[in-house]
Amino acid sequence: MTGLIRLAFLMLYRDRAKYLALVGGLAFCTFLIAQQAGVFCGVMLLTTSTLRNVGANIWVADSRTEQINSPVSMRDIEVNRVRSLPGVAWAVPIFLGVLPAKLPDGSVQNLQIVGVDSGSFVGAPKVMIEGNIQSLILPEAVIMDQVAVEKFASRGVQLRVGSRFEINDQEATVVGFCRTRRSFSGFPHAFTTYERALEWVPPQRKLLSFILVQAKAGESEQAVVAQINGLSGLRAFTTDGFRLETMRWFFRNTGIPVAFSVVVIIGAMFGLWVTGQAFFLFVHDNLRHLASMAAMGATQGRLAVMVMFQAFFAGAVGYGIGLGLTAGFGFLVLPAETPAFYLPWQLPVAVGALVAVICFFAGGLGVWKLRTVEPAMVFK
């Protein structure tokens, strides 16, 4: 059997044109599927970037809130209701909203405003580039992220500590810079205190976006979530639960999953068509060699093993090349996060399984062609 496998490898490798066609088709198929699936995963992560930028174990929202990017405003009194529960260690308010910033040249840039608790600074940026969180207590203070620096620079404005601009016609002074995950909307993040954010927002009866909660020591998060859900008009989530709920909302209400699924299906169909056709022709062109082996005593079963080995060997090489190209694409786009890209370990495994199915289909076509092999073909 080892000799037949070695012979199968030599047959495949020496027919360079068809070997390259097989490997190239599978590599392109792998790259197209993995790259598009990686971009899709990256886009889904963007939809939950707020959950990663704001550190909290439990989120409390109005019962009508469906996802993190569209909060339904609540009354400030809801914070005290949550604090009164026996399993809650602390609860603080946070404001999330989009407000216009007026640049010195008169142009406008929308900002994702994050108003954090001024006492505990819960919800403040986790990674500071310059300055410190405590500076937020200064008058008109705001901390900008790296996206704001890029956006303002593209408009000819170089942001520095001490830079001033207007947010909704009110003064704001930059006291530091932080690093955040880009938002789904693409707007830069601006962190300030909860009270100052409310001053910038046009007057409304309800302005509280979410309540961030920490469970007491010894209390499980699920138990505290159940306590909060018992309050009328409120709905609580763990961070992981809120992430899943947000992603489900985008699956149900947007065309993003369908758009990426179409590309993945096209990639799979391309792989099936090109690989199947190329491998069928490869077996057809080598029928005389296969007939010679049959004449020397090789059974149909052993010839089938040879053919399947050739299909899966070409598939493994093409899969490796395609996955390498996908990883290279990821390294190129990750620093700028445009486009968004995320490649969890489950994705290469799933793509590998799909490539295996394609190889099985292509090998199956080759085995089907083997039915016409007869030892007498050597003499024709």
Residues 325, 303: Cα–Cα separation, whole Å? 33
The predicted pLDDT at position 233 comes to: 92
The predicted pLDDT at position 255 comes to: 82
Q: Do 326 and 318 touch, CB atoms closer than 8 A?
A: no
Handedness of CA 161, 166, 168, 170 (dihedral sign): positive
The predicted pLDDT at position 58 comes to: 95
Whose tokens are 């995963």? That residue is 41
Count CB neighbours of 352 within 10 A.
17
* 93 upstream amide cis, omega within 30 of 0: no
Q: What is the pLDDT along the chain (380 residues), one digit of tens a residue?
A: 566 667 666 777 777 777 888 888 889 889 989 999 999 998 888 889 999 898 789 999 999 999 999 999 999 999 999 999 999 999 999 999 999 998 877 788 999 999 999 989 999 998 999 999 999 999 999 999 999 999 888 888 889 999 999 998 889 999 999 999 888 888 999 999 999 999 999 888 899 999 999 999 889 999 999 999 999 999 999 999 999 999 999 988 888 888 888 888 888 888 778 777 777 777 766 666 666 666 666 666 677 777 788 888 888 999 999 999 999 998 998 877 777 889 888 999 999 998 888 888 877 777 776 666 555 444 45
The predicted pLDDT at position 365 comes to: 73
The predicted pLDDT at position 3 comes to: 61
The predicted pLDDT at position 243 comes to: 93
Q: Do 249 and 237 touch, CB atoms closer than 8 A?
A: no
Which ranges constitute the DSSP H helices of 102-155? Answer: 146-154
Burial class (CB in 10 A: 0-12, 13-18, 19+), 293: buried
The predicted pLDDT at position 378 comes to: 46
The predicted pLDDT at position 254 comes to: 85
Whose tokens are 């203070």? That residue is 141
Q: Do 96 and 187 touch, CB atoms closer than 8 A?
A: no
- CA-nearest of 244, 349, 255 to 40 is 255
